[in-house]
Amino acid sequence: MKFIRNAFKKLKKNIKNKIYTIKKDHLIREYFKNNVLFVVFVAVCVLNSTMLRFLCMHTVENFLSWKAILADTIVVSTVGAFGYYIKPKDRFAYYFGFCIFFTAICMINSVYYTFYTSFASISMLSLTQYIGDVGDAVVENVLQLKDLVYLIGPIIMLVVHFKLKKKNYYKKVELKSERKKKALHTLTASAFLLAIFLITLSSLDISRFFKQWNKEYIVMRFGIYVYQANDLVASVQPKVNSMFGYDKASKEFNEYFADAKDSYETNEYTNIFEGKNIIAIHAESMMTNVMDLKFNDLEVTPNLNRLASEGMFFNNFYSQVSVGTSSDSELTYNTSLMPTKSGTAFVSYSNRKYIGIPSLLNEKGYYTFSMHANNADFWNRRTMHKNLGYQRFYSKTDYEVKKENVIGLGLSDKEFFKQSIDKIEKINAENDKWYGLLIMLSNHTPFSEVDKYGEFPVDIKETITKEDGTTEEVVYPYMEGTKLGNYFKSIHYADSALGEFIEGLDEKGLLENTVIVLYGDHDARLPRKNYDRLYNYDKETDSVMEEDNPEYKEYDSYQYELGRKVPFIIWTKDMHGTKLNFTNSNVMGMYDVVPTLGNMFGFHNKYILGHDIFDIKENNIVCFPNGNWVNNKLYYNSQKAAYLPLTEEEISEEEIAQNTEYTNKLLDVSNNIIVFDLLNEEKNNKLREVGTEK
Ligand code: GP9
Ligand code: MN
């Protein structure tokens, strides 16, 4: 009896489900029937953008990226919703127009990606030479089937259109209120999808979206249409910024540099390296405080330490980066200008005039080049390196990148240096004097590929003698398994790559007439709490000491800021033991590099913000993009309007106020130089002429 009742219940449930499904199917079918144009429009545009991603980026992450599909759907359906305001007879033109527009975006990016392994940017179209390049590229590439595949979207739309026409679909009468209702319903649905999309965004997604340089990531997470809109805003922003305040900016600029001289003050380092080749090493996330560290008596950075002890070592040197990290570091190193207040100079202001070290060396007959085995468009380097004066930029496509040689973002530093030596050897054979910047990559956050860094335990090993006279080795985990510990392993790897590079250069005789210049580009960007365990490890309990422990060393926000120093080293093979072999402890910033090196190599730039360290000596000041500053006497925090004294010396309030004012002025002038393109004499002369005509 019970069995029959159950069977009956089951049957009833099945019928109910069936009816519900039929109803649902019916509803969906009805919706499709009435909105076929909109549905096909959304489907083909989303399909195109999905195809673009799949054909360009062959990573699992990309294939699984439903967020991009969602974002594309939101964009296209929002655009599509407005189509409902149009009468049915004219609606096709609207959808077809936008379909062509979205298809064009996909096709342009598809072509661009083939050539540059990156996605297109509207801002670059303003550079005429870029249009030339892309123009050629399009012509050469036009026959590639994969770029034409997107035409399938408009073709499908046309087929659907003719079918609908036959069925008199466009003759349907739709009341205005009905059309409005449809539009609003569709917009509501898009808004609902948008809410879901926003909830799922991670902080990394958001930060990369605003920083805008990691184009592949943005396309992978936000889809090509959002990427292109974001890119449009980024391209327009600098124009808006530079529309107002030119006169004031230009006046302040002229006042600021009114007394600037056409040559540096001479000192004992003037022209000491004139005519020598230069290899500058941009050491990713290399920090000075690591140089003092040892684990089980082994130095974390033995090679860096050797260079520092044999050459000129500036151990109180700061990088002055903002959100543009590596690129900001390159900007300041090359031009002595500070990062911009909004956006980044490399991405948002790449069409401004810059006076870079390479262009100054070009004038002196040097051949100049840069090398970085990453995608050339990262941080917009392809454009900016040319702008700074590098005659040749060797990027990822110039290197052989085998899968087994990849660490983190790309080719491992060891392999990068190895392959670079061959290129430098050739350059050396073909050129009289040369200057190259080599940008390292492996020691990059999140420092998680520990198995690739090689053996370097960051634990504490102790040998204990027991009562019976036998010995035993005890291991305390210490920094093992921590983020900072992994950073030490990573930096140890980078250091050993550096060692191999120097050795390799020497073997080829490339160090004979060459000066090595090395700078850390910025700190490891690890939160302050990571340092607690390093300085306050209690091995007995394998934990961090309590703050009330008398041995507890507080690593406060000032210690953290001071700890962000990066190494700056100038080294030659034969410097050791000479009067050029010393450590300079005066505070120094990345913006002091141009004048300091300029004095040694004999190149000069009038529009610099830093000083020759051998000229300004202990009176130097390093300003940071956030308004903080540091000199030999104190570190000043502008947000808190508080400071940490660094010496016993009395400091007057007046002196602090003066330095703060100096910092603000310097940041303003620097920002104006970039935003208003004030180094572009031709442009400024024209503007001045227009001004006087008025
Ligand atoms: C990218 C590399 C890292 O090519 O230089 O940049 P970062 O994340 O350090 O700014
Ligand atoms: Mn960096």
DSSP 113-160: HHHHSS---HHHHTSHHHHHHHHHHHHHHTT-HHHHGGGHHHHHHHHH
* Whole-number pLDDT of residue 5: 66
Mean pLDDT of 2-26: 59
Given pLDDT bands bounded at 50, 70 and 90, which one contains residue 11? low
Q: What's the rounded Cα separation, in Å, for the pair 338 and 322?
A: 9
- Ligand 1 atom having least distance to the Cα of 374: 4
* Whole-number pLDDT of residue 640: 79
Evaluate: CB of 319 within 6 angstroms of ligand 1. Answer: no
Q: What's the rounded Cα separation, in Å, for the pair 389 and 387?
A: 5
* Whole-number pLDDT of residue 42: 96
Q: What's the rounded Cα separation, in Å, for the pair 441 and 282?
A: 9
Determine, yes or no, domain membership for 543.
Answer: yes
Determine, yes or no, domain membership for 261.
Answer: no
Evaluate: CB of 378 within 6 angstroms of ligand 1. Answer: yes
Determine, yes or no, domain membership for 645.
Answer: no
Does the pLDDT of residue 8 top 60, yes or no?
Answer: no
Residue 67 CA to ligand 1 centre (angstroms):
25
- In the listed set 614, 635, 670, which residue is the last one of a domain according to the structure? 614
Question: Which protein residue's CA is at the shortest distance from atom 5 of ligand 1?
Answer: 326
CB crowding 3-23: b at 16 or more within 10 Å, else e = eeeeeeeeeeeeeeeeeeeee
- For 32-41, 423-432, 512-521, 538-547, which range has the lowest pLDDT when averaged over its residues? 32-41
Q: 296 and 226, same structural domain?
A: no
Determine, yes or no, domain membership for 254.
Answer: no
Question: Which protein residue's CA is at the shortest distance from atom 1 of ligand 1?
Answer: 378
Instruction: For the chain, give the percent of residues with pLDDT over 70.
Output: 91
- Phi, psi of 100, rounded to the nearest 5 degrees: -65, -45
Q: 283 and 219, same structural domain?
A: no
Q: Which residue has the higher pLDDT, 123 or 519?
A: 519
Q: Classify the phi-psi angles of 386: left when phi > 0, otherwise alpha if psi is within -120 to 50, otherwise beta.
A: alpha
Going by their DSSP bridges, the two strands 298-299 and 294-295 should be labelled as antiparallel
pTM of the complete model: 0.78
Q: 274 and 201, same structural domain?
A: no
Determine, yes or no, domain membership for 457.
Answer: yes
Question: Which protein residue's CA is at the shortest distance from atom 6 of ligand 1?
Answer: 326
Q: 343 and 237, same structural domain?
A: no
* Whole-number pLDDT of residue 694: 45
Q: 286 and 214, same structural domain?
A: no
Q: 337 and 211, same structural domain?
A: no
Given pLDDT bands bounded at 50, 70 and 90, which one contains residue 130? very low
Does the pLDDT of residue 133 top 60, yes or no?
Answer: no
Does the pLDDT of residue 610 top 70, yes or no?
Answer: yes
- 3-class DSSP assignment, residue 437: strand
Q: 320 and 234, same structural domain?
A: no
Number of other CB atoms surrounding residue 282 within 10 Å: 22
Work out how many domains the chain is built from and give that number.
2
* Whole-number pLDDT of residue 137: 42
Residue 441 CA to ligand 2 centre (angstroms):
8
Determine, yes or no, domain membership for 103.
Answer: yes
Determine, yes or no, domain membership for 105.
Answer: yes
Q: What's the rounded Cα separation, in Å, for the pair 347 and 361?
A: 24
Residue 223 CA to ligand 1 centre (angstroms):
23
Residue spans of beta strands (DSSP E) within 376-530: 392-394, 406-407, 410-411, 434-439, 460-465, 471-476, 514-520
Mean pLDDT of 352-366: 98
Does the pLDDT of residue 153 top 50, yes or no?
Answer: yes
Evaluate: CB of 326 within 6 angstroms of ligand 1. Answer: yes
Mean pLDDT of 304-324: 96
* Whole-number pLDDT of residue 98: 97
Q: 156 and 36, same structural domain?
A: yes
* Whole-number pLDDT of residue 138: 44
* Whole-number pLDDT of residue 60: 77
Torsion over CA of 511, 515, 521 and 524, rounded to 10 degrees? 50
Determine, yes or no, domain membership for 332.
Answer: yes
The CATH number that applies at residue 565 is 3.40.720.10
pLDDT digits (tens, 9 = 90+) for 553-572: 999 999 999 999 999 999 99
Residue the block writes with tokens 């999140």: 446
Evaluate: CB of 385 within 6 angstroms of ligand 1. Answer: no
* Whole-number pLDDT of residue 505: 98
Mean pLDDT of 184-198: 95
pLDDT digits (tens, 9 = 90+) for 489-520: 999 999 999 999 999 999 999 999 999 999 99
* Whole-number pLDDT of residue 682: 85
Residue 353 CA to ligand 1 centre (angstroms):
23
pLDDT digits (tens, 9 = 90+) for 429-486: 999 999 999 999 999 989 999 999 999 999 999 999 988 999 999 999 999 999 999 9
Given pLDDT bands bounded at 50, 70 and 90, which one contains residue 235? confident
Q: 275 and 228, same structural domain?
A: no
Residue 611 CA to ligand 2 centre (angstroms):
24
- In the listed set 546, 579, 614, which residue is the last one of a domain according to the structure? 614
Q: 56 and 182, same structural domain?
A: yes
Question: Which protein residue's CA is at the shortest distance from atom 7 of ligand 1?
Answer: 326
* Whole-number pLDDT of residue 65: 85
Evaluate: CB of 282 within 6 angstroms of ligand 1. Answer: no
Domain enclosing residue 238, as ranges: 12-244
Q: Classify the phi-psi angles of 612: left when phi > 0, otherwise alpha if psi is within -120 to 50, otherwise beta.
A: beta
- In the listed set 569, 591, 614, which residue is the last one of a domain according to the structure? 614
Pocket test for ligand 1, best of 207, 212, 284, 384 (most atoms within 8 A of CB): 284
* Whole-number pLDDT of residue 141: 43
CB crowding 435-455: b at 16 or more within 10 Å, else e = bbbbbbbbbbbebebeebbee
Q: 285 and 215, same structural domain?
A: no
The mean of the pLDDT values for the chain is 90
Q: 199 and 137, same structural domain?
A: yes
Does the pLDDT of residue 22 top 70, yes or no?
Answer: no
Q: Which residue has the higher pLDDT, 185 or 686?
A: 185
pLDDT digits (tens, 9 = 90+) for 475-487: 999 999 999 999 9
